[in-house]
Amino acid sequence: MIGPFVQDLPATRVVFGIGLLDQLSDEVKRIDGRRVMLIYGNHESAYAEQVESQLGYAIVARFTDVVMHVPASIAQTATELCRAADVDLLVALGGGSSTGLAKAIAKATGLPIIAIPTTYSGSEMTTLWGLTENSRKVTGRDARVLPRTVIYDPLLTLSLPQDLSAASGMNAIAHLVEGLYAPGISPVAMLQCEEGVRALAKALPRIAADPHDVDARTDALYGAWLAGWALGTTGIGVHHKICHVIGGAYDLPHAATHSAVLPYATAFNEPFAPGAMDAVVRALRSAGIDADSAGGGIWDLATSIGAPTSLRDAGFDPKNTQEAAELVVAANPVNPRPIELAGILELFISAYDGTRPVASTK
Ligand code: NAD
């Protein structure tokens, strides 16, 4: 049965295709950008040169001190630079960390963003922002941080190392899985989430076999776009809450943490969201993965592409388990399965152990 539902779609212009970074200057003109601040991390400097060659003198400021989880002090420094240079447009080139920094500046200044993603994080399609201060990551939603335009060019992902590609792809799948049971789900979002899981589950093993496979990179970026869009419009549950809490508190790598937690968070919710889990299993099967359950099938996919399936691999210290579980319970995420300490502790223990999950029967 369809609905009831509310669909609230924020508008982002999306330019998607191989080689379409060369449309950046047209996109900048389209929103009348004249004084650009270019934000990128060290590994994106080759692409930054392409941006510089297109935008030339329009770039009046550059910021390259991009750090995962957006430390508040760095956001403050970048915002001051932006104001001092009288910037009127932010161009964020890179993964979720570059986009996240641009969002922090946009939140403070109201400036528009053009995002050029080079990973599968999906941040470019959301109104979600995050800032970390005193080992606590605070997140929220603000329409001002949603990029005005996103340019998806699969060529910019060819250099993403295989381990990061696998983990980042699992991060995108996490958005899609949680989107399927989040409060903002709509009939269109259901189709989008299932299609996104299918696209990524088909693409990631091909990328693992050949990171320079442009077709596979294009399919994965397509799945990442659907995932970011789902994250932006549907919502999150216990899985994302765990990753945000432990990512900020213990400075863990974002994508690897998502990859490590997802099979277990999915199994935790499996009996409480049967429609969503059926969609995940269908998508995995149509991608050629012989999934007997959503959590188990996700674990199989992650294992086959060398993505982390244990919090140990993501650098989590088990001595923090009790504290982390208490932080998650205190955050009280909206989730199909009720959140209580014993269940969350069990989830952490399984995710640290890394054994293939079986769906919880509780
Ligand atoms: P990231 O942006 O930190 O990138 C990981 C590493 O890969 C960095 O060293 C980066 O320089 C490098 N890299 C990126 N693209 C590359 C490429 N094409 N080739 C070679 N190296 C490349 O990691 P991420 O996982 O993309 O983003 C993580 C951050 O994004 C976290 O802070 C997370 O909270 C945030 N995030 C936010 C949202 C949101 O909606 N607000 C969604 C997802 C992630």
CA of 340 to the centre of ligand 1 (A): 31
CA of 292 to the centre of ligand 1 (A): 31
DSSP 75-120: HHHHHHHHHHTT--EEEEEESHHHHHHHHHHHHHH---EEEEESSS
DSSP 299-343: HHHHHHTT---STTTTT--GGGHHHHHHHHHHH----SS---HHH
Of 175, 183, 207, give the one whose Cα is nearest residue 298. Answer: 175
- Among 12, 39, 42, 43, the mutation site with the greatest number of ligand 1 atoms within 8 A of its Cβ is 43
Query: Which helix (H) or strand (E) segment is 246 a member of?
Result: helix 238-250
pLDDT tens readout for residues 63-90: 999 999 899 999 999 999 999 999 999 9
pLDDT tens readout for residues 263-319: 999 999 999 999 999 999 999 999 999 999 999 999 999 999 999 999 999 999 999
pLDDT tens readout for residues 209-254: 999 999 999 999 999 999 999 999 999 999 999 999 999 889 899 9
Closest atom of ligand 1 to CA, residue 157: 18
pLDDT reported for residue 309: 97
Query: Is the CB of 165 inside a 6 Å radius of any atom of ligand 1?
Result: no
User: For residues 199 and 251, what is the distance between their CA atoms, to the nearest angstrom?
Assistant: 30
Query: Is the CB of 96 inside a 6 Å radius of any atom of ligand 1?
Result: yes
Going 298 to 301 to 213 to 69, the CA torsion angle's sign is positive
Residue of the CA atom closest to atom 20 of ligand 1: 160
Which token pair is 22?
């060369």
CA of 338 to the centre of ligand 1 (A): 31
What contacts 219, CB < 8 A, 6 or more positions away?
199, 200, 202, 203, 206
CA of 122 to the centre of ligand 1 (A): 9
CA of 164 to the centre of ligand 1 (A): 9
pTM for the full model?
0.96
User: For residues 240 and 72, what is the distance between their CA atoms, to the nearest angstrom?
Assistant: 21
Q: Would you say residue 192 has pLDDT above 60?
A: yes
